[in-house]
Structure 1
Amino acid sequence: MLTAAGRTYKAEVAQLVAVGLARFPRRAFFLDRIQSASLSLTIRFCFSSALRRDVDSGLKIAQDALCAGLGLNDNRITEIHLYKRQDKHQPRIEVTLSLLDQPLAT
């Protein structure tokens, strides 16, 4: 269960993703592809302190927020890569969603 702060964060990230998607010129093609393919999710957590969090602590909320913004069921994601970095000056999350060659198992 998410805290109020977690729900707010998830909603804000989902909104940012949705706005970015609305500006994407090939969004219809992109959405069609991600709805019918196996996907790989790569997340790079760049924390202000290397000891601040575990590498997997933000996975679910980041994945859920991204998928909510894309209108995507997260069961399309069949591969996950997580990385933890330190960046004292610009903490952030970097996300890459990639199509995989293999079809989604049915």
Structure 2
Amino acid sequence: MPEQLSGKSGITKQPPFTLYLTLPLPPSINEQYATVNGYRVSTQIARRFKQNVRAALRTLEQQGYLTDWLRKQFQASYLALFLDFYFETPFKRDLDGGLKITLDALCEGLGVNDNRVVNIHLMKHIDPLHPHLYLEMEALTDWQFDKQYVLLT
């Protein structure tokens, strides 16, 4: 069994490398963008969510769990994401509305290209008193596509 931190945030220290984070719920898709002078811009709520993700990653760095070496493992591997959304009610929010902003914020914070993500699992739960997002990102060090192709240039 991989060595894992107790609590809700952390990283496993041996393969498979997995990042664990508990975050506030991301804004709904309707709260992420506004039109200003004809341009689509991120809202303050969306920018705040991205700041929260960066702060959570910084905390793991300060605790010594998220090292440059571990970042390189995430950057060099294909990735799997497991996102458990805990909403206030079962029908107020779509399950996929927070996916893109979460993926962007996490990958930006880790310096990872989000095209490395090959597996995503989304789950909807209800927690009316403490809505939040629990996520796990795993580096798939042995991932291979079903068929391998040789690119001719």
TM bucket (normalised to shorter chain) is 0.7 to 0.9
Distance of aligned partners of 1:54 and 1:87 in 2 relative to their CA distance in 1, 3 Å threshold:
same
Deviation track 1:2-59 (CA, whole Å, cap 9, x = no partner) reads: 3413432343233223312422425122111111101001111100111111111110
Deviation track 1:55-101 (CA, whole Å, cap 9, x = no partner) reads: 11110011111112112111111111101100011100111000222
Q: Give the alignment of 1:24-43 within 5 angstroms.
A: 24-26=63-65, 27-43=67-83
Letter in 2 for 1:17: A
Distance of aligned partners of 1:92 and 1:60 in 2 relative to their CA distance in 1, 3 Å threshold:
same
Runs of 4+ with deviation above 4 angstroms: 103-106
Letter in 2 for 1:68: E
Q: Give the alignment of 1:1-106 within 5 angstroms.
A: 2-3=33-34, 4-26=43-65, 27-100=67-140, 101-103=142-144
Query: Does 25-34 or 53-62 show the bigger shift?
Result: 25-34
Query: Does 57-66 or 21-30 show the bigger shift?
Result: 21-30
TM-score of the two chains, using structure 2 as the length reference: 0.61
Query: Does 79-88 or 10-19 show the bigger shift?
Result: 10-19
| Alpha-carbon distance in structure 2 between the residues aligned to 1:57 and 1:29 | 32
Match of 1:50, SS state, is coil
Query: Which structure has greater helix proportion?
Result: 1
| Alpha-carbon distance in structure 2 between the residues aligned to 1:37 and 1:11 | 23
Matched length: 106
TM-score of the two chains, using structure 1 as the length reference: 0.84
Q: State the superposition RMSD in angstroms.
A: 2.3
Q: Which has the larger radius of gyration?
A: 2
